[in-house]
Chains A and B, each alone.
Chain A
């Protein structure tokens, strides 16, 4: 892996991040309304008759630099970003944006990472099995059912699960990340957290498993006739070993690249799942900050999403030659 390759990839990553930050900044500032007017309106909604509302708004705008030209604000924002400073939330001044994002991020990441890992592992395993010669029939018969689930959008699956497990019966909690009366912390909190994450995770997993199954099944089929598998069998290796270490390893490589590209879609999907299950993650933070036009927070969350997506691609691009030796040798030759 040459230095110029790494430099180009990292440069591309930075370019994408900069572009996304600019696009989000422009969109957010062009929208009608601003965080100050929102606050003032909220005061009015609570019955606080605001005298001289316009004057009050003008004063606060000055304090936060919102009265300057868009270009001026943009350069100030870029300067801030370059120093790694994500600024203060306007609606929740003097809270730092990083604090707000930091509170929400673990929930989203936790939910997403576990669902991605579980659905990828189980889905790929099952997919590989579907193509393997000696898989018993009853396992193969799972295929059409799980495929059908792949077709149905995950939020419909979520509604169905909610109806069955949370309303009809009370096996699982319908919303929230922690039980209301449960104030355990640290390791003791894990069972409670897990319990509340089962339904949201299950909705995503059930809907997504079929997708990985089909993909790995196809790649496995293209691997099946390979010579090295024949050699392994001739050497007398156990079937499990051949399956896991020889066949699956090769079959998984292209799937991992699909995973990287796919992460952006999953992040977006998390927004909807978090709304349905009232999970206090990035999705909820995004929706609240949009309603309040809290520019710094919207920009921070948007940036977090893009950085994760682009970052995943970057990481995989840099690791790819390690995964697939053909690429490594091709480049060096």
Chain B
């Protein structure tokens, strides 16, 4: 019915962001991409966990130290405008940032996958209802709605923010997964399962889904990216979770303090660089997983 959304999701599922190369891809290149992605995306998180025993939480309290100290041996990245040690803030700030992204990704991928699989497999009126519902949600921009909600109701906690983002971002992945299911549905192994009288539910989730795991992974990475993007956007507007110091709120704090014009690079640059790292890592991951999930892409054309 909604031809535009149909084609859009078909594009997303088939071509997506995959790097199609006329020449075939070696496994080595895939492995390199994967390694890069994991390193950039998860490296900072692991590093922060390792650093925690050495960095006490006390250093993140307001006025723990003098304000805006330059980097020195005592403070590797100096202190910020409210007397917090910047390294400590980074160590304790990466976790909430990723938490929101992961929460949004996990919940979003669960909802999107279940909805997409059910709609694609069951077809008929169930499919029509789900399709209409997701079409409606596609028309309402997530970020604008979140701005309105966060501003009116006094912001959301880390958990609720992740849930809210997930609830607003599942439609497109659901549509894309549905397109995949539509093509998988006619395959032999599915027909066999139907003939062997297995229940619809078990066919959907025990037969079809395992074949789509790489594709679901790709969707997951995309959702995490989107979740991070939205959450940090909200924080830059001052609408992020309260009392939580994470990368986005550090940048916002620095901006409103005037760190850009006062040359306090050690305050605003490190979180920005870390964020770029995170996003690049997620991007590499999505490229590689796309290639894995779409053998047609990896195989290349003749």
Contact present between A and B (CB < 8 A): yes
Q: Which residues of chain A have a CB within 8 Å of any CB of chain B? A: 8-9, 12, 15-16, 19-20, 23-24, 27-28, 30-32, 131, 147-148, 150-153, 155-156, 159-160, 162-163, 167, 214-215, 217-219, 221-222, 224-225, 253-255, 257-258, 260-261, 264-265, 267-269, 271-272, 275-276, 286-287, 290-291, 293, 298, 302, 305-306, 309-310, 313, 316-317, 320-321, 324, 327
Check if B1 is an interface residue, CB within 8 A of chain A: yes
CA–CA, A224 to B21, complex, Å?
A: 12
CA–CA, A224 to B233, complex, Å?
A: 39
Chain B nearest CB from A4 CB (Å) reads 11
CA–CA, A31 to B255, complex, Å?
A: 29
Chain A nearest CB from B232 CB (Å) reads 7
A272 touches B18 (CB 8 A): no
Chain B nearest CB from A59 CB (Å) reads 25
B22 touches A221 (CB 8 A): yes
User: Interface readout for B119-156 with A: 1 if CB under 8 Å, 0 if not?
Assistant: 00000000000001001101111111001110111100
B4 touches A261 (CB 8 A): yes
Q: Which candidate, B107-115, B197-205, B276-284, is the interface stretch facing chain A?
A: B276-284
A219 touches B15 (CB 8 A): yes
A153 touches B141 (CB 8 A): no
CA–CA, A137 to B298, complex, Å?
A: 22
A264 touches B272 (CB 8 A): no
Q: Which residues of chain B have a CB within 8 Å of any CB of chain A? A: 1-5, 7-8, 10-12, 15-20, 22, 132, 135-136, 138-144, 147-149, 151-154, 172, 229, 232-233, 236-237, 251, 255, 260-261, 268, 272, 275-276, 279-280, 282-283, 297, 301-302
Closest 4 CB pairs of A and B: A268-B143, A31-B152, A151-B283, A218-B15
- Which one of B15, B136, B301 has the greatest number of beta carbons of chain A within 10 Å? B15
Chain A nearest CB from B9 CB (Å) reads 8
A218 touches B272 (CB 8 A): no
Chain A nearest CB from B257 CB (Å) reads 14
Nearest residue, chain B, Cβ from A13: B139
A258 touches B8 (CB 8 A): yes
Decide yes or no: A290 and B15 within 8 Å by CB, A152-B279, A271-B143 being known contacts: no
B236 touches A272 (CB 8 A): yes
- Say what secondary structure dominates the interface of chain B: helix
B5 touches A313 (CB 8 A): yes
CA–CA, A316 to B135, complex, Å?
A: 14
B280 touches A24 (CB 8 A): no
A261 touches B138 (CB 8 A): yes
- Which one of A147, A148, A155, A309 has the greatest number of beta carbons of chain B within 10 Å? A155
Decide yes or no: A309 and B261 within 8 Å by CB, A254-B11, A275-B237, A317-B3 being known contacts: no
- Which one of B132, B136, B302 has the greatest number of beta carbons of chain A within 10 Å? B136
Decide yes or no: A225 and B301 within 8 Å by CB, A31-B153, A218-B20, A254-B10 being known contacts: yes
Nearest residue, chain A, Cβ from B275: A156
B233 touches A152 (CB 8 A): no
Chain B nearest CB from A237 CB (Å) reads 22
CA–CA, A265 to B237, complex, Å?
A: 17
Nearest residue, chain A, Cβ from B251: A159
Decide yes or no: A219 and B11 within 8 Å by CB, A8-B1, A167-B261, A260-B4 being known contacts: yes
CA–CA, A321 to B301, complex, Å?
A: 29
A221 touches B20 (CB 8 A): yes
Nearest residue, chain B, Cβ from A28: B152
- Which one of B7, B15, B19, B139 has the greatest number of beta carbons of chain A within 10 Å? B139
Chain B nearest CB from A141 CB (Å) reads 15
- CB neighbours (8 Å) of A320 from chain B are 3-4, 7
A267 touches B148 (CB 8 A): no
Nearest residue, chain B, Cβ from A210: B283
A153 touches B15 (CB 8 A): no
Nearest residue, chain A, Cβ from B7: A257
**Can you list 7 A-B contacts with CB-CB less than 8 angstroms, sorted by A residue number?**
A153-B275, A156-B272, A214-B17, A257-B7, A258-B11, A286-B147, A290-B148
Chain A nearest CB from B56 CB (Å) reads 30
CA–CA, A8 to B2, complex, Å?
A: 9
Decide yes or no: A298 and B139 within 8 Å by CB, A156-B276, A214-B17, A258-B12 being known contacts: no
CA–CA, A112 to B17, complex, Å?
A: 23
- CB neighbours (8 Å) of B17 from chain A are 214-215, 218
B15 touches A151 (CB 8 A): no
Decide yes or no: A313 and B151 within 8 Å by CB, A225-B301, A272-B237 being known contacts: no
B279 touches A291 (CB 8 A): no
A215 touches B15 (CB 8 A): yes
CA–CA, A305 to B147, complex, Å?
A: 13
CA–CA, A271 to B234, complex, Å?
A: 10
A261 touches B10 (CB 8 A): no
Chain B nearest CB from A168 CB (Å) reads 10
CA–CA, A24 to B255, complex, Å?
A: 31
Nearest residue, chain B, Cβ from A282: B144
A20 touches B7 (CB 8 A): no
Nearest residue, chain B, Cβ from A331: B3
- CB neighbours (8 Å) of B141 from chain A are 264-265, 267-268, 305-306, 309
B279 touches A12 (CB 8 A): no
CA–CA, A310 to B138, complex, Å?
A: 8
A162 touches B260 (CB 8 A): yes
Q: Which listed residue, B3, B7, B237, B280, touches A152 by the CB 8 Å rule? A: B280
Decide yes or no: A265 and B275 within 8 Å by CB, A12-B135, A320-B3 being known contacts: no
CA–CA, A253 to B3, complex, Å?
A: 12
Decide yes or no: A151 and B2 within 8 Å by CB, A218-B18, A290-B152 being known contacts: no
